[in-house]
Amino acid sequence: MPDERLESAIANWAPRLTANGVDASDVAEVASSVERWSDWCAAWSRIGSRHETLGHEALVEGRGRSAGEHLSQAATAFHFGRFLFVHDLFQARAAHERSVRCLTEALAHLDPPGERHVVEFDSAHLYGILRRPAGPPRPVVVLVPGLDSTKEELRLVERSFLDRGLATFALDGPGQGEAEYALAIRHDWEVPGTAVIDYLEGCDGVDAGRIGVWGVSLGGYYAPRVAAGDGRVRACVSLAGPYSLGPSWDALPGLTRDAFAVRSHASSPEEARDRAFALDLAGIAPRIACPLLVVFGMRDRLFPAEGARRLAAEASGPTRLLLLDDGNHGCANVVYRHRPLSADWMAAQLAR
């Protein structure tokens, strides 16, 4: 009997895996070998272990650049093993811890290298990876993941900004990655966003007068909240974010609803649904005064395109709306259509 959760994961997320650095052969291996959703995390953990071993071998042999590539690949594999695997939190957390460890090992060997940062927030911590090109202080782009994403998934997104001379700060905020165990999903992301911007103002090599924010999926909701609430944000990119999460709740895949329930620390499905309705840009979008780029795929199966149109129409600053006819959720199947453009646009805004 087909496993609906497994079929949903493969059908909805396969393009996202390859768009964010997973080798196509690894995707094919999992798709052809796993028959039950309960085996998903273990399958990706085996692949992560394979890349981790290659990374450690490269380190022993003094091939630092290759070690960084293998270990960051391992981190991504472990991440995708646990990204929606919330029915077995023990197994998911073990994979997540290995993902974090592999990326931390990789950071010194990336080009440019990365630094792990811990931001105090709300009696707990947020976690980020700062990377910056060599030279004078650089404008910085805060990269905000979505519901099931983490900073370990964002290497190729970082690359697009780094190649244009911008620094990046890939973030695990409330309800995300390392921060999700102590801090629940929250609707008012201007609050953690301000804490992160305060922190970046004290970081060496960062031009704190030129800060942008980029977010994908639920991060595409969070990023506009940060831009609306903190005037230090100079530019914002919202990729595939909902204008309001609640109206889409009942139509979301079961895996997505389950992940939201766990990461919002809801005690029941009813409470999770209520919390979803709190994520709403009504009355918030008009406060966005900085330049805003809204990117959305017309084949998005999670959120309606009308939300993207509404966000772009209501923001009070200059806006650009990019609707991609063949784009899926996150436009992961057409990254060439938006990722370079978004990085070019952000670099132009932060150069002013």
pLDDT tens digits along 206-244? 999 999 999 999 999 999 999 999 999 999 999 999 999
Average pLDDT over residues 90-107: 98
Q: 10-14, 72-76, 162-166, 287-291: which range is least confident on average? A: 10-14
The partner residues of 143 in beta bridges, in order of sequence, read 170, 214
pLDDT the model gives residue 126: 98
User: Domain residues of the chain, as ranges?
Assistant: 1-111, 113-352
Tokens of 299: 């084949």
Average pLDDT over residues 40-67: 98
Q: How far is it, in rounded angstroms, from Cα 208 to Cα 200?
A: 7
Average pLDDT, the chain: 96
SS3 labels along 61-102: CCCHHHHHHHHHHHHHHHHHHHCCCCCCHHHHHHHHHHHHHH
pLDDT of 11 > 90? The answer is no
Q: How confident is the model at residue 12 (pLDDT cuts 50, 70, 90)?
A: confident
Contacts of 59 (CB under 8 A, 6+ apart): 67
pLDDT of 121 > 80? The answer is yes
| CA–CA–CA angle 234, 350, 233 (5° rounding) | 15
pLDDT in tens, 260-310: 999 999 999 999 999 999 999 999 999 999 999 999 999 999 999 999 999
pLDDT the model gives residue 10: 82
Contacts of 42 (CB under 8 A, 6+ apart): 81, 91
pLDDT the model gives residue 2: 66
Average pLDDT over residues 315-326: 98
**pLDDT > 70: what percent of the chain?**
99
Contacts of 9 (CB under 8 A, 6+ apart): 37, 40, 84, 255
pLDDT the model gives residue 19: 95
Q: How far is it, in rounded angstroms, from Cα 157 to Cα 170?
A: 9
pLDDT of 69 > 90? The answer is yes
113-352 domain in CATH 3.20.20.330? no
Q: How confident is the model at residue 104 (pLDDT cuts 50, 70, 90)?
A: very high
Average pLDDT over residues 109-118: 98
Q: How far is it, in rounded angstroms, from Cα 215 to Cα 220?
A: 4
pLDDT of 1 > 60? The answer is no
Q: Is 49 exposed, middle or buried (0-12, 13-18, 19+ CB in 10 A)?
A: middle
Q: How confident is the model at residue 334 (pLDDT cuts 50, 70, 90)?
A: very high
Average pLDDT over residues 110-125: 98
**pLDDT > 90: what percent of the chain?**
95
pLDDT the model gives residue 7: 84
pLDDT the model gives residue 13: 86
1-111 domain in CATH 1.20.1440.110? yes
| CA–CA–CA angle 272, 275, 280 (5° rounding) | 140
Conformational region of residue 121, where left means phi above 0, alpha means psi within -120 to 50, and beta covers everything else = beta
